[in-house]
Chains A and B, each alone.
Chain A
């Protein structure tokens, strides 16, 4: 859209004053320009931000949802979604753990989530959770001292508009894909991280994050920027099951690594899969992309994912800088009637770039999963190397796992290796463990955890332990 038109539109909308009820905390379902203007106004955003959103919205209108993936889902009615609702007031939330669904607490217990975090995760009103708040404040001071910016994306747009404007949408453009366009138009939550030149972030951003941002939004936008020689390890999500009234989740995550920077982004996610027929489960359509912009930069994605009725997700790396490194370690577990379509894209642009992909898929019950990996080596990526290993483990005979490796190699000096295996959980392995006295369910979890070890060891320690517990909970009842 020409900028003049945009001007007009923006002016007209404000003039018309359709956002009459400033006090209103929620917009009625539906999406049009006025909804977007409302969101932007609520968030006290600068004008350029609103324009950016509207641009995305207009792109989105022209796009159609992807249908090529290995998934089946009923069409989503985008006009039935409410795109803005203020966070629940403290008095509307449970006041103590006694008011929380015992089943949820039981799961926290099984997952080994520390006691002081359970309340926060269960959405108990914040001032009831003394521990975590004070812990969080200490973290905040520490980060501030190091010069690391870590705040919500909305706060960042207000407080650090120049930084945000410089990087937002430079990795995942507004029109990148259907869900990214939608997200760009309406995102309301998410985080912003900036690690200045030469700074190694003094702590994992996980702990802090888990306590403070446990309630994920429907349209999250995360932007992590690591300046030259900076380092950060960021952990998103947690093993506690995420229940949400919102069925559709369409997040965008952008990572930017400048020269010699290293970003490690780990995700442990346990979405609500719905009942055994998949009803009520979450649709998770995520665009995650890392840009190794500087020479010798490195971006590493590690993810352990279970839950959601439908997952569509391909964290990827653009390896632009010379000798930059992209890594993808993933464990996807599906059970019941879940469907997952995941994978990664490694786009080699710069010389001597390297990428490693280790994808482990575990399917149980009647679930179905697909791994899709694209390794693309551009004409200038001399000496680029990729190693890919995809392993699937099937539990039972009603589930499926499919692997689709794609390679586009535009350079004869590149080395691309691919290994793939599919195995059934071996009866012989189970027998061996059981013949030692270990019961069947423990034996399965032992074998499955062994299968995932290459990925788990990439996770921050505490989460590796939780991830194991998560696998066990997910696969409960999948044998026998």
Chain B
């Protein structure tokens, strides 16, 4: 589904990704871990198409399409969705309005008509109940005045409605209390199926207890230096990153 090959990325003359390889197949859940500043958010931002990142080398294919040739919105419509580490506030724009506009834009790209209002309302109500979000959040401005945890739940709500093929969730667990973590994890798990894939960026094993990954990768200094199964995360939790580094240098 997603194939990242030898990716080199520079931001403002600073080299951040230095030959990163990653392959994700449909049905899989991948977790990327690694120290602060390693380039995890950069990777997902580049895949989503954020401006300011220069790809100096390498390729990104999504379902065989060259992602780097696509506009940001085209990537989203193709089924790539980025859940933000720091979701931004958009004053004056109702949450529900953004959701509807996004859903309809994606439907239009698939040649489907706009979703009928009652159907949309039903869908949104259902999913926000799943996310344990009060319906009043739908009427508030996008992320404005939301607590950290509420913002994260809102990201998952969008995902549940947009139903992406590949969801990239950047530190979706940070700032969540224990109950919210469960809600978010349940939301993500509800999306798991044979046609979808999920890429989780996280620092903590906790999340991976709830969303059990098929593959765990360690990203250090712009490269994936070690990959393994879910047990790798446990090991990292216990031993930190130094040993991985030493091993990779050796």
Contact = CB atoms under 8 A, between A and B. Distances in A.
> Is B truly associated with A?
yes
Interface in A402-450: 426-429, 431-440, 442, 446-447, 449-450
B98 A446 contact: yes
Nearest to A432: B88
B232 interface: no
A436 B87 CA distance: 12
Contacts of A433: 90, 98, 101-102
Contacts of A436: 76, 81, 98, 101-102, 105, 158, 162
B92 A431 contact: no
Contacts of A442: 101, 105
Contacts of A458: none
A450 B141 contact: yes
B84 interface: yes
Given A427-B51, A446-B97, A434 B72 contact: yes
A53 B141 CA distance: 52
Of the candidates A426, A436, A439, A440, the one having the most CB atoms from chain B within 10 angstroms of its own CB is A436
A454 B82 CA distance: 30
A453 interface: yes
Interface residues of A, number: 23
B150 interface: no
B128 interface: no
A434 B91 contact: no
A446 B88 contact: no
Nearest to B51: A427
A446 B93 contact: yes
A434 B88 contact: no
B92 A437 contact: no
Interface string B57-101: 000000000000001110111000110100110111100011001
Contact of B72 (A435, A447, A450): A435
Contacts of B49: 434-435
A293 B22 CA distance: 73
A235 interface: no
Nearest to B92: A450
A436 B100 CA distance: 10
A263 B88 CA distance: 39
Given A436-B76, A437-B73, A446-B98, 9 more contacts: A431-B50, A435-B48, A435-B50, A435-B72, A435-B73, A438-B98, A438-B105, A446-B97, A450-B93
8 contacts: A431-B50, A433-B98, A436-B158, A436-B162, A438-B73, A439-B105, A450-B91, A453-B92
Which 3 residue pairs spanning A and B have beta carbons closest together? A450-B92, A450-B93, A453-B92
